[in-house]
Amino acid sequence: MNQATVLLEDEVRELVRRRGLDPARDTAGVRALVADALADYDSRSVAGLVPPVVDPEQTAKDVLDAVAGLGPLQRFLDDPTIEEVWINEPGKVFIARAGRAELTTTILTETQVHDLVERMLRISGRRLDLSSPFVDASLATGERVHVVIPDITRRSWAVNIRKYIARATRVSDLVTLGSLTTQAAAFLDAAVVSGMNVLVSGATQAGKTTMVNALAGAIPPHERIITCEEVFELRLANRDVVAMQCRQPNLEGQGEVRLRRLVKEALRMRPDRIIIGEVREAESFDMLIALNAGIPGMCTVHANSAREAVTKMCTLPLLAGENVSSTFVVPTVASAIDLVVHLELDRHGRRRVREIVAVTGRSEEGVVETAEIFALRGSSLQRAGGFPPDVDRFERAGYDLAELLMQDSGR
């Protein structure tokens, strides 16, 4: 950063302090201050009192980023092609673009990293200290932040900023992106309208949140949706939506709100649909109870295959308590979950649907029966031989399932 930019940044920070502005919430006010400060600075530079500004436009942006944004990281957040930014240590700042990691030339100091994290957490109200060395939070612009500090990490603070890039608001958008075929998209649209319970599985960064967002686009507009997430990530375009996120405990260890509590509360809010961002632990039990009560829903889970996702859903609810047994959970999974959409991120950075599997409703000897409806064959998602359960639900919603699954369109 050149001397002119440093001087301007100091002046703008002082003006912000004097006028009592909140840079994180009043970006327009800070932008106006930067413009006024730059004009005044230009007048002084003409008189030879301060070094001249070589590139006024870039200088104004640098100062605005430093005061109201995330400084050296802001350009990565502004770049729509970048999906994630992470810091392993001050001298190692990485980005992900099209599913591939790149080491940037950005070099920070420990103080800069700490200041940036403090700025990120200021709006969320979440804290980071020795008693709480992990934190999940959302930026004002919607990005998800995760931070871990020593002595959990070896030496430096580890920071991840995951951007949510709204590439798809309907399943048809995923066809355009090459993630699935037209026939599979039409089937998924019909399944959501018909009230099927959908489990979206895949590895990290496979596109699970994007898929749920796209599936939710098919929910009829008159239905009321309640979403439950660890941190806000879903961006639903539906008109009747209530979004809830978890809360960390305060300094006295009180006030924590876990995902299980959100799912329970959602049932009291007259939902027509429940969407859970991701199930990892005992909240899966409460989700199964909700789905088994006749409230259609969706959720995501980390898994390496659709079969593994179903198996995981049979084991996670056991964490809810010693009185929860597999003799209850397995048949409940078989009857509560209708479809599993499994996604993959291939070695070329492409995100696509690998398989769509039906849960038939039957289980035997602790194993839930599944049937492939669509599966990846070579580079194309093709029709397999399976059928979803409760065909009459499609008929009541006005769909001819036989026609939807008649043959693989291949595109």
- Condensed to tens digits (0 to 9), the pLDDT of residues 266-278 reads 999 999 999 999 9
Torsion angle of the four alpha carbons 237, 238, 244, 245, in this order, in degrees rounded to the nearest 10:
-30
Nearest Cα neighbor of 1 from 66, 82, 47 is 66
pLDDT at 407: 62
pLDDT at 411: 40
pLDDT at 22: 84
pTM: 0.84
Cα separation, 411 vs 408, whole angstroms: 8
Cα separation, 216 vs 210, whole angstroms: 10
Nearest Cα neighbor of 314 from 191, 195, 199 is 199
Cα separation, 136 vs 144, whole angstroms: 7
Cα separation, 236 vs 229, whole angstroms: 13
Longest CA pairwise span in the chain (Å): 87
* Tokens describing residue 4: 């002119």
Cβ neighbours of residue 41 closer than 8 Å, sequence gap 6 or more: 4, 7, 8, 11, 50, 53
Cα separation, 182 vs 375, whole angstroms: 14
Query: Does the fold of domain 171-405 match that of domain 70-165?
Result: no
Q: Please report, for the chain, the start and end positions of each structural domain, with discontinuous segments joined by +.
A: 1-68, 70-165, 171-405
| Superfamily of segment(s) 171-405 | P-loop containing nucleotide triphosphate hydrolases (3.40.50.300)
Please tell me the CATH code under which domain 70-165 is placed: 3.30.450.90
pLDDT at 339: 98
Contacts made by residues 241-246, CB under 8 angstroms, sequence distance 24+: 242/269, 245/138
Q: What whole-number percentage of the chain has pLDDT above 90?
A: 66
pLDDT at 138: 86
Residues of the chain with pLDDT under 50: 409-411
Cα separation, 344 vs 316, whole angstroms: 22
Read off the pLDDT of residues 323-354 as tens digits, 9 standing for 90 and up: 999 999 999 999 999 999 999 998 888 899 99
- What is the pLDDT of the chain when averaged over all its residues? 91
Report the chain's C-alpha Rg in angstroms.
25
